[in-house]
Each structure stands twice: as C-alpha cells, then as structure tokens.
Amino acid sequence: MLIALLQYPLWFGKGSWLRVWDLSGKISVQQNKNKALKARNEILDAEVRDLKSGSAAIEERARSELGMVKQDEVFYQVIENAPNITNSAVHATPAVTP
C-alpha cells in the first residue's frame, strides 16, 4: 500500500510522467511553428533591408506593380492576338416584347 501511495504522484500527480509526455509533444509542435515563423521573419527582414539600402528593389516594385518607367525610357507593350469572336455574339439583338 505504501508503494502505491508513493507511485501515485509519479504517474498521476502535478509533475507526472503522463503530463511530462503531453507537454513534450506540445513543445515539439510549438517548436515547428516557431521554425516556420522564423523563416518567414527572415524573408521579411531581408526584404526590409533591401528596401532600406538599395533602390533596385524599389525600382523593381515600381515597374512591376505600378507600371512605372524611367525618364527618357521607351516602353513597349506587346499584345498577342486575341481569338476571333463570332459575329453572332457581337451582333446579337435583344428580343422585343409587344
């Protein structure tokens, strides 16, 4: 009986083996989340450093997102041929109700 009373806190108490096993699982899940967030933060940090230090990143964003061009620069836009639209779709007339 004495051995059972001594073993109870070890298996089911506040610092029991079951609780330690459960917490170690939660810790490993959180560590994986932290690694993913750290990688994301490093990417964002590199982008911030790029924007602060050089104008190349700012210029690239202005060109791609805003369609800007430099002064004395010629912009060419190539438009591929669109597929032909049938005449029936273009010249459809609405039905007239009496």
Could you tell me the residue ranges of all domains in the chain?
A: 38-67
61 touches 55 (CB < 8 A): no
pLDDT digits (tens, 9 = 90+) for 23-33: 999 999 999 99
Q: Is the dihedral of CA 20, 22, 28, 30 positive or negative?
A: negative
Classify residue 9 by its DSSP letter: H
**pTM score of the predicted model:** 0.45
Gap between the Cα atoms of 94 and 25, Å rounded: 67
Confidence of residue 86 (pLDDT cuts 50, 70, 90): low
Q: Distance of CA 84 to CAs 48, 77, 80, 89, Å?
A: 46, 21, 12, 11
Q: What share of the chain is helix, strand, coil (3-state, %, to 5)?
A: 65, 0, 35
